[in-house]
Amino acid sequence: MGALDTLLSPSGQIDAMPPAQAEAVATELGSAAGLAIASASIVARDGVIGCWAHRGPDTFLTLVSLGHLPLQFSGSPWTTRVGTQVVTLLLCPPTHANAVALRAWLPFTAPQAVGLRKSIGCGDRLGLATPGHVRAVRQGQLFPIFAQQSIREMTRTGRTPMEVMDDATWGVFRAGWRGGFGADADHLKTTDDIDRCLEAGFVLYTIDPGDHVQDDADTAPPDALRARFEQLPWADLETTSQDVQRRYLDRPLEVGDIRLTLDEASLWRAAVKYGRAVAHTVRMVRHLAACWPADAPPWELEVSVDETASPTTPAEHYFVANELRRLGIRPVSLAPRFVGRFEKGVDYLGDLAEFEAQFRQHVAVAQALGPYKISLHSGSDKFSIYPIAARLAGELVHVKTAGTSYLEALRAVAQVEPPLFREILGFALARYPIDRQSYHVSAEPARVPDPDGLTDGDLGTVLDSFDGRQVLHVTFGSVLTARDEHGGYRFRDRLLAALREHEEAHYAALERHFLRHIAPFG
Ligand SMILES: [Zn+2]
Residue after which a domain boundary falls, among 67, 93, 119: 93
Q: Amino acid identity, residue 231? A: Q
pLDDT of residue 1: 56
What is the C-alpha separation between 378 and 346, in angstroms, rounded?
A: 9
Sheet arrangement for strand 76-82? 13-14, 36-45, 48-55, 58-65, 85-92, 76-82
Whether residue 112 lies inside any domain: the answer is no
The pLDDT tens digits of the residues spanning 234-246 come to 999 999 999 999 9
**CB burial class (10 A; 0-12, 13-18, 19+) of residue 416?**
middle
CA distances from 161 to 40, 192, 207, 210, 470 (A): 27, 12, 16, 21, 25
Residue ranges in 292-343 assigned as alpha helix (H): 314-326
Whether residue 64 lies inside any domain: the answer is yes
Whether residue 170 lies inside any domain: the answer is no
Whether residue 319 lies inside any domain: the answer is no
How many angstroms does the Cα of residue 437 sit away from the middle of ligand 1? 16
What is the C-alpha separation between 518 and 181, in angstroms, rounded?
A: 15
How many angstroms does the Cα of residue 416 sit away from the middle of ligand 1? 32
Q: What's the pTM value of the predicted model, to 2 decimals?
A: 0.96
The pLDDT tens digits of the residues spanning 134-171 come to 999 999 999 999 999 999 999 999 999 999 999 999 99
How many angstroms does the Cα of residue 378 sit away from the middle of ligand 1? 6
Residues catalogued as catalytic: 186, 302
Whether residue 42 lies inside any domain: the answer is yes
Residue after which a domain boundary falls, among 93, 125, 157: 93
Whether residue 377 lies inside any domain: the answer is no
Q: Please list the residues that pair with 259 across neighbouring strands.
A: 254
Domain span including residue 486: 405-520
Instruction: Give per-10-residue mean pLDDT for the chain (522 aa).
Output: 82 85 94 94 94 94 91 92 91 97 97 97 97 98 98 95 98 97 98 96 98 96 95 98 93 91 94 98 98 93 93 97 98 97 94 97 97 96 97 97 97 98 96 92 93 93 96 97 96 97 97 98 94
How many angstroms does the Cα of residue 349 sit away from the middle of ligand 1? 16
The pLDDT tens digits of the residues spanning 316-326 come to 999 999 999 99
For the four alpha carbons of 16, 21, 23 and 29, in that order, the dihedral sign comes to negative
Helices (H) and strands (E) in the chain, counts: 19, 16
Label residues 442-481 b or e (16+ Cβ within 10 Å = b).
Answer: ebeeeebbebeebeeeebbebbeebbbbbbbbbbbbbbbe
Look at the chain and report how many structural domains it folds into.
2
Residue after which a domain boundary falls, among 32, 60, 93: 93
Task: Supply the DSSP symbol for 75.
Answer: -
Whether residue 250 lies inside any domain: the answer is no
How many angstroms does the Cα of residue 52 sit away from the middle of ligand 1? 34
The pLDDT tens digits of the residues spanning 334-363 come to 999 999 999 999 999 999 999 999 999 999
How many angstroms does the Cα of residue 232 sit away from the middle of ligand 1? 26
Among 312, 234, 324, CA closest to 284: 324
Helix (H) or strand (E) holding 397: strand 397-401
Whether residue 164 lies inside any domain: the answer is no
How many angstroms does the Cα of residue 307 sit away from the middle of ligand 1? 6
